[in-house]
């Protein structure tokens, strides 16, 4: 049974009271009521992959139905709580919706005056007409509750990816712009690649690294755009090495370093296969006091000598990193493979603490978005 739409007066009071609080969001013209489609269309609460969405919409299956107002109200509730929290923590990028309602499988992130909208692959079967209408309704709802015009909403479909697929270009150019996080600045692009240049779910770990980096030698492995190094360097690290195989992302890292006035003579950017780097660094007897190891779940990049499978290769990577870690140093190891299990043999050799709960920011409803461990020598 569909929910009865709220009266216009009640809905206007609720949304209006929220909008007066979101003073930091762009002051675009906002409608006083929900989009017309929001008052008439209903969608299924759950949709098994084997069932078409049209079957639900035609009423051929008996299921609980929900109204687009549920999505509007949930985003509004999240924004009301999170906006003051984001301002208090000096953030310009944060998550406002994280697949909270099953039939709206999206992650919605604010990046300053833009919205990054990611649709997760569910296996639902929709005709082109149904899909277009469904997405339009969602875009209208987001525009209504946030005040961001649709041209500031950047939609991507996040299919199940393996390895380097997450780093491939989308075919769009997009626009690079700067966001601030905890007093640091980063270049982001919401269109060009599947990811934006800054993993928001690692915000807590970045801040932790910055808080303990003073006087330390720092190593960033699988560095992506170098955000961990930005925190370490601005936190007082005396030197660092930032290692990745992608020229694109190392150039991005260099731009992030320049934004934050980081001296490249002390903080080196190194293009290398991490497996080869670990071997060579051990031969050179390099040592670091603080290491971040954040590999992809899988990679079959042509630039690598072999494939990377983090479940299979975890011991090789962790042993290699620990060989470079000073006796009193700390390694932070993280990955986003949901099925990942840490090899028990590693705990016999090293002091390991699972810090996943502390490492995931409070704006992320999905507490399994990554796993993170703090590893030290025994």
- pLDDT greater than 70 at residue 310: yes
The pLDDT of residue 290 is: 99
Tell me the C-alpha distance between 125 and 54, whole Å: 8
Please report the beta strands in 79-214, taking only residues with DSSP state E, as ranges in sequence order.
93-98, 106-111, 114-120, 153-158, 177-181, 184-188
Note whether 376 and 350 are within 8 A (CB).
yes
Tell me the C-alpha distance between 94 and 199, whole Å: 10
Same fold, 8-160 and 177-377: no
Note whether 220 and 288 are within 8 A (CB).
no
pTM strictly above 0.85: no
When mean pLDDT is compared across 80-89, 109-118, 297-306, the lowest value belongs to 297-306
Note whether 200 and 93 are within 8 A (CB).
yes
When mean pLDDT is compared across 23-37, 144-158, 352-366, the lowest value belongs to 23-37
- pLDDT greater than 60 at residue 21: no
Residue 133 buriedness (CB in 10 A; 0-12 / 13-18 / 19+): middle
Query: Which region, left, alpha or beta, applies to residue 145 given φ > 0 means left and ψ of -120 to 50 means alpha?
Result: alpha
The residue extents of the domains of the chain are 8-160, 177-377
CATH architecture of structural domain 177-377: 3-Layer(aba) Sandwich (3.40)
Instruction: Average the pLDDT over 314-337 and give the result.
Output: 98
Q: Could you say which of 3.30.750.80, 2.30.180.10, 3.40.50.1000, 3.40.50.1370 is the CATH number of the domain covering 8-160?
A: 3.30.750.80
When mean pLDDT is compared across 59-63, 212-216, 233-237, the lowest value belongs to 59-63
Reported as a single tens digit per residue, the pLDDT across 271-301 is 999 999 999 999 999 999 999 999 999 887 6
- pLDDT greater than 90 at residue 371: yes
- pLDDT greater than 60 at residue 197: yes
Instruction: Average the pLDDT over 200-211 and give the result.
Output: 98
Instruction: Average the pLDDT over 177-198 and give the result.
Output: 96
Tell me the DSSP string of 15-36: HHHHHTT-TTS------SS--G
The pLDDT of residue 51 is: 36
């Amino acid at each position: 049974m569909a929910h009865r739409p709220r009266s216009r007066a009640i809905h206007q009071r609720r949304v209006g009271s929220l909008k007066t609080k979101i003073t930091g969001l762009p002051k675009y013209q906002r409608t006083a009521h929900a989009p017309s489609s929001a008052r008439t269309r209903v969608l299924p609460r759950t949709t098994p992959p084997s069932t078409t969405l049209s079957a639900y919409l035609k009423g051929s299956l008996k299921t609980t139905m929900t109204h687009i107002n549920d999505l509007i109200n949930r985003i509004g509730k999240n924004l009301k709580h999170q906006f003051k929290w984001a301002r208090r923590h000096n953030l310009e990028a944060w998550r406002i919706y994280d697949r909270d309602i099953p039939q709206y499988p999206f992650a919605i992130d604010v990046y300053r005056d833009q919205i990054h909208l990611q649709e997760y692959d569910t296996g639902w079967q929709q005709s082109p007409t149904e899909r277009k209408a469904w997405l339009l309704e969602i875009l209208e709802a987001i525009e209504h509750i946030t005040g961001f015009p649709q041209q500031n909403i950047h939609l991507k479909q996040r299919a199940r990816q393996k390895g380097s697929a997450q780093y491939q270009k989308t075919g769009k150019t997009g626009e690079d712009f700067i966001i601030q996080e905890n007093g640091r600045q980063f270049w982001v692009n919401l269109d060009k690649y599947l990811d934006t240049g800054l993993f928001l779910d690692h915000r807590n770990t970045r801040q932790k690294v910055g808080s303990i980096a003073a006087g330390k030698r720092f190593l960033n492995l699988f560095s992506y755009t170098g955000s961990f190094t930005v925190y370490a360097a601005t936190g007082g690290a005396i030197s660092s090495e930032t290692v990745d195989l992608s020229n694109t992302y190392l150039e991005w890292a260099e731009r992030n370093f320049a934004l934050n006035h980081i001296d490249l003579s002390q903080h080196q950017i190194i293009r290398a296969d991490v497996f080869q780097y670990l071997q060579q660094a051990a031969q050179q007897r390099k040592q670091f006091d603080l290491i971040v190891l954040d590999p992809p779940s899988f990679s079959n990049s042509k630039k690598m000598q072999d494939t990377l499978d983090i479940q299979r290769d975890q011991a090789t990577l962790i042993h290699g990193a620990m060989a470079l870690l000073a006796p009193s140093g700390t390694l932070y190891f993280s990955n986003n493979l949901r099925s990942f299990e840490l090899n028990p043999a590693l705990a016999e050799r090293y002091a390991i603490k699972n810090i996943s709960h502390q490492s995931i920011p409070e704006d992320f409803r999905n507490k399994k978005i990554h796993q993170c461990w703090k590893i030290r020598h025994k």
